[in-house]
Copies of this chain bind each other. A is one copy, B any other.
Amino acid sequence: MDFVKRHIVSPGKTPHLKTVETDESGPFKDKDAAKQFTAETVDKIRDLQYRMFVEQKQSLLVVLQAPDAAGKDGLIRKVLGQMNPQGCRTYPFKVPSSSERAHDFLWRIHKATPAAGMVSVFNRSHYEDVLVVRVEDLVPKSVWSKRYDIINHFEEGLMERGTKILKFYLHISPEEQLSRFKKRLENPDKHWKLNVGDYAARDKWKDYREAYEEVLDKCSTRDAPWFVIPADHKWYRDASVASIVHDTLVKMDPQMPPVDVDLDEVRQLYERELNQQRG
């Protein structure tokens, strides 16, 4: 199955999120089949990531956005964080600090973008500045409404240096979210995640949906597309994102760089050392 085709938001064809299924299970006959697929795909991702790391020309930026409990953390743990840690960093973007707030909204984001060879994974992102900021009315519409263009131009600048951008919206149903909230309540080790605000956000489900739809509509571009990932099944979420990341890396086609040392010289040095060692 072509997960890219299935879940990409093509410019001009933004779906109504209400009509997009959240519990898709794709081609997998069961959970185990999906997990097997994910494990195999993660291995292939790791191999390509290694090449990109050594090549040191291109880079990859993965943006994750989702309602609470939709599974960003799990996706990072099981898929994205399985890459070689020397070439991959995750960045959480929480409520901005006072020094961050003293700058434009992209200032803290820019610092976390990937250098050549590297992968950055954003757990939340600059898109919060047209999502929570819009829905919770943290700045006037005259301010946030200009940000879609600002974001698009910013992302173009990143791409110009060889950064490929993938943006994932994890799409869950309110029912699934509530059942995950229940599990948090039942597990004391998860109590630190409890938050009264999560319930308040549920009252604004429709507002958030509209805000997301505008993001998808204005900021899913040909080269920095958004994907809507059905996320009620964790195993489908992991498998589909893994597949899309893999396909992207295949297209980026990273190459081991040409060897810039004289192989014969190194071989001679090796032989010299070996002879010395033998005494």
Chain A residues proximal to chain B, CB less than 8 Å: 54, 73, 76-77, 80-81, 84-86, 88-90, 92, 121, 123, 174-175, 178, 181-182, 185, 188-189, 191-192, 194-196, 199, 202, 256-257, 259, 261-263, 265-267, 269-270, 272-274, 277
Given A77-B84, A178-B273: A266 and B192 interface contact (C-beta under 8 Å):
no
Shortest CB–CB separation between residue A20 and chain B, in angstroms? 20
Shortest CB–CB separation between residue A170 and chain B, in angstroms? 16
Given A86-B73, A88-B85: A191 and B259 interface contact (C-beta under 8 Å):
yes
Q: Tell me the number of copies of this protein.
A: 2
- List chain B residues, Cβ under 8 A from A192: 54, 256-257, 259
Q: Which among A123, A181, A195, A269 has the greatest number of chain B C-beta atoms within 10 A?
A: A269
A178 touches B270 (CB 8 A): yes
Partner of A199, one of B73, B76, B86, B269: B269
Give Cα distance in the complex from A77 to B123, angstroms: 22
Give Cα distance in the complex from A213 to B267, angstroms: 31
A interface: dominant SS: helix
- A-B CB contact pairs (8 Å), 5 listed: A85-B89, A178-B270, A181-B273, A185-B263, A199-B273
Give Cα distance in the complex from A228 to B265, angstroms: 33
Give Cα distance in the complex from A192 to B52, angstroms: 13
B263 touches A194 (CB 8 A): yes
Give Cα distance in the complex from A159 to B236, angstroms: 43
Given A178-B277, A277-B175: A270 and B86 interface contact (C-beta under 8 Å):
no
Give Cα distance in the complex from A76 to B85, angstroms: 8
Q: Which among A86, A92, A191 has the greatest number of chain B C-beta atoms within 10 A?
A: A86
Shortest CB–CB separation between residue A178 and chain B, in angstroms? 5
- List chain B residues, Cβ under 8 A from A266: 185, 194, 196, 199
Give Cα distance in the complex from A261 to B197, angstroms: 11
Q: Which among A188, A192, A259 has the greatest number of chain B C-beta atoms within 10 A?
A: A192
- List chain B residues, Cβ under 8 A from A259: 191-192, 194
Give Cα distance in the complex from A272 to B182, angstroms: 12
Give Cα distance in the complex from A121 to B256, angstroms: 26
- List chain B residues, Cβ under 8 A from A277: 174-175, 178
> Closest B-chain residue to A92, C-beta based?
B86
> Closest B-chain residue to A178, C-beta based?
B273
- List chain B residues, Cβ under 8 A from A182: 270
Give Cα distance in the complex from A202 to B188, angstroms: 55
- List chain B residues, Cβ under 8 A from A185: 263, 266-267, 270
